[in-house]
Amino acid sequence: MTSDLFNLATVDGWSLFGRAWVPDGEVRGVVCLVHGLGEHGGRYERLAARLLERDFAVLTFDQRGFGRSPGARGCIDRYEDLLDDIGRLLKEKEKRFAQRRCFLYGHSMGGALVLNYVLRRQPRLAGVVATAPWLELVREPGFAVTALAAVMNVVRPGLTIANGIEPGLLCRDREVVANYTGDPLVHDRISARLFTACREAGRWALDRAGEFPRPLLLMHGGADRITSARASQAFAARAGAHCTFRLWPGWYHELHNEPDNGEFFTFLARWLEERIAGGP
């Protein structure tokens, strides 16, 4: 395995922090990964290592306002900027592995981003993976909070509050939780604009799930208390034949970090390999 860092030049002139994990042998396919709220791409090294065992390269980046990338923590100007950044990640894949089939993978906020990206931009991909996407929250904020966020989105969009994620709800692996809480690159900030944009984008994607144009593997933990498994089930039902849905009973939010997750990685790798064997 080799790993290297790169700068992802965005459409609007930002330089985002990127990582690439590449197997030593022939690359069978490439997974472009988009992380979730408050975290960064480096938290996916264990997932990348499992994919490398199957000869998949993994490219990821820290989104603007997260991890080692610049920007006010948890803030955005436009949701479209986040989608543009995903497009730049796919261009990086083409630069490095133009002849290899590409998969777009997103978790939580990143899961909703990849669903929105594919619905809106219609990229050519071998497939899409979304785990625990933020389509809806398990506990949606009340009317007063959402109304205040809508007002602040207009008058003070950069105002941030704590995102409310309880680290103990991420997964059942205590070591992972301890590493998360001690990670200096993790933060708990979310701006009025980012919250409002993500909430609206989740609903937009749910309404258009029947238009999803690419093979999709959608997975959710049955005991996830952060993002809604029911919303993922609804998306899968509307997406129809394009979508393979897997609910993992008793599992928490970060499926890739759950204890004894060998079956998860086997299921994921088999789905990716089947998409490669199936051709364009």
pLDDT > 90 in the chain, percent: 89
Among 15-24, 84-93, 149-158, 261-270, whose mean pLDDT is lowest?
149-158
Q: What is the pLDDT of residues 189-225, one digit of tens each?
A: 999 999 999 999 999 999 999 999 999 999 999 999 9
pLDDT at 144 over 70: no
pLDDT of residue 239: 97
What is the CATH code for 2-277?
3.40.50.1820
Total-model pTM: 0.96
Q: Is residue 238 very low, low, confident or very high in pLDDT (cuts 50, 70, 90)?
A: very high
Residue 280 pLDDT > 60, yes or no?
no
pLDDT of residue 49: 96
pLDDT band at 277 (very low <50, low <70, confident <90, very high): confident
| Residue 143: predicted pLDDT | 61
CA distances from 231 to 38, 51, 141, 198 (A): 21, 27, 16, 14
Residues 132, 134: Cα–Cα separation, whole Å: 7
The 3-state secondary structure of 129-166 reads EEECCCCCECCCCCHHHHHHHHHHHHHCCCCEEECCCC
> Comparing 279 with 33, which gets the higher pLDDT?
33
pLDDT at position 159 is: 84
Instruction: Supply the pLDDT for residue 279.
Output: 55
Q: Is 130 or 151 the better-scoring residue by pLDDT?
A: 130
d(CA 233, CA 211): 16
